Amino acid sequence: MNKLAILSIMAGVIALGLSGANIAMAQLYSSGVGTDITASPEQLEECKKLDIPEFACTQTAILAKRRVVTSEQAGAYGSGTPMLGRTFGELGGYVAALGAIFGGISAAFFAMALRKPKAPQKA
């Protein structure tokens, strides 16, 4: 490849990296709209029920506490994907599927290597 192509590819990668960084920085700071942290009386009441301190009473804190309370109830299984359960479960299925895929690919490479005639070596 010539130098111009390499330089243009490098410039494109750098430009993409810098443009992505600007978007992330713009999302970090808010414009002040909707950033009022005062809780409504209904939210304060619910925070008292959920044992959330008044200074930390926000809609996000209420939702997070509800999630924790729901997941601790009997019969609740988190996200519904028992990856590390006591049975074979989802994790075992994923491991078996990946083992079959990669095992099949490696077996195909081994078979191709055995069938291919070896070129005579020059001394």
Asked if residue 26 has pLDDT above 70, the reply is no
∠ CA 63-90-85, nearest 5°, is 70
State yes or no: pLDDT of 21 exceeds 70: no
Neighbour tally for 57: CB within 10 Å: 20
Residues 6+ apart with CB under 8 A from 61: 47, 52
CA 122 to chain centroid: 52
> What confidence score (pLDDT) does residue 100 get?
96
Both structure tokens of 90: 């989802």
User: Does position 62 have pLDDT exceeding 60, yes or no?
Assistant: yes
pLDDT band at 92 (very low <50, low <70, confident <90, very high): confident
Longest dimension (CA), the chain: 90
Res. 101 pLDDT band, cuts 50 70 90 = very high
- pTM score above 0.85: no
